[in-house]
Amino acid sequence: MNVKILPTQIHGVLDYLASGVNLAFPRLLGLYDAPWATIVPRIDGVAGVGYSLVTDYELGVLKALPMPAHLALDAAKGLFMALSPWLFGFAKNGTRYWLPHVLMGTADVVAAVATRTR
């Protein structure tokens, strides 16, 4: 069974949506007691928009970054995001702190694995 079911155009939409969610959720959830719980998703969101804009796909502007490299960045960024609550020690602050990071990071990895390239 082929797991490459996600077209790059849909992947692009998800890239920008996920970046927006990552930029917003720390504030929406009030993750103020652990600075890294806010810093990591914001860096993730800015990085996601940045390399999406230069990716060679339908929603890229400069089209300089090959899609396979983009997917590798997504997977690495997602893994880092999912592990960040334990790497930076804010998992101890409760589910509200670690669950969004794990969900968004896992979504990045799944999207990277499930996207078919041209």
Q: Please state, in angstroms and rounded to a whole number, the distance separating the CA atoms of residues 49 and 54.
A: 9
Question: Is the pLDDT reported for residue 118 higher than 80?
Answer: no
Across the strands, what pairs with 65? Answer: 55
Give the SS3 label for residue 42: helix
Q: Grade residue 2 by pLDDT with cuts at 50, 70 and 90.
A: confident
What mean pLDDT value characterizes the chain? 97
Q: What average pLDDT does this structure show over 58-84? A: 99
Q: What angle do helix axes 8-28 and 95-114 make, rounded to 10 degrees?
A: 170
Q: Amino acid letter at 30? A: G
Q: Given this model, what pLDDT does residue 21 score? A: 98
**Would you give the DSSP letter of residue 52?**
H
The mean pLDDT value for 46-64 works out to 98
Rounded Cα distance between 53 and 5, Å, is 22
> Residue 76 and residue 48: Cα distance in Å, rounded?
12
Classified as helix, coil or strand, 66 is coil
Confidence of residue 64 (pLDDT cuts 50, 70, 90): very high
Per-residue model confidence (pLDDT) at position 117 = 92
pLDDT tens digits along 75-106: 999 999 999 999 999 999 999 999 999 999 99
More confident residue, 53 or 1: 53
